[in-house]
Amino acid sequence: MVHLLEIEEYAKENNIPIMQKDGIEYLTNYIKENKVKKILEIGSAIGYSTIKMALVSDDIYVTTIERDEKRYLKAIQNIKKYNLENRITIYLKDAFDVELDDKYDLIFIDAAKSQYIKFFEKFKKNLKDNGTIFSDNLAFHGLVELGEENIDSRNVRGIVRKLKKYIDFLKNNEEFETKFISIGDGIGITTKK
Q: Residue 43 touches which of Mg ion, ligand SAH, none (CB < 5 to 8 A by kind)?
A: ligand SAH
Determine, following the binding rule CB under 6 A, whether residue 111 of this chain makes contact with ligand SAH: yes
Determine, following the binding rule CB under 6 A, whether residue 82 of this chain makes contact with ligand SAH: no
Relative to beta strand 38-42, strand 61-66 is parallel
Dihedral sign, CA of 186, 188, 166, 173? negative
Determine, following the binding rule CB under 6 A, whether residue 186 of this chain makes contact with ligand SAH: no
Which residues, 6 or more positions from 130, have their beta carbon under 8 angstroms from its beta carbon? 105, 191, 192
Q: Are 90 and 72 in contact (CB under 8 A)?
A: yes
**Which residue of 4, 31, 45, 84 would you call a contact of ligand SAH, by CB under 6 A?**
45
Q: Residue 94 touches which of Mg ion, ligand SAH, none (CB < 5 to 8 A by kind)?
A: ligand SAH
- Select the span of 79-87, 108-116, 146-154, 174-182 touching ligand SAH (CB under 6 A): 108-116
Output the residue with the shortest Cβ distance to ligand SAH. Answer: 43
What DSSP designation does 85 have?
A: T
Determine, following the binding rule CB under 5 A, whether residue 136 of this chain makes contact with Mg ion: yes
**Which residue of 36, 54, 67, 159 would you call a contact of ligand SAH, by CB under 6 A?**
67
Dihedral sign, CA of 56, 58, 64, 70? positive
Tell me the backbone φ, ψ of residue 127, rounded to 5 degrees.
Answer: -95, 135
Q: Residue 126 touches which of Mg ion, ligand SAH, none (CB < 5 to 8 A by kind)?
A: none
Q: Are 101 and 161 in contact (CB under 8 A)?
A: no
Q: Which is nearer to ligand SAH, 143 or 192 (CB)?
A: 143
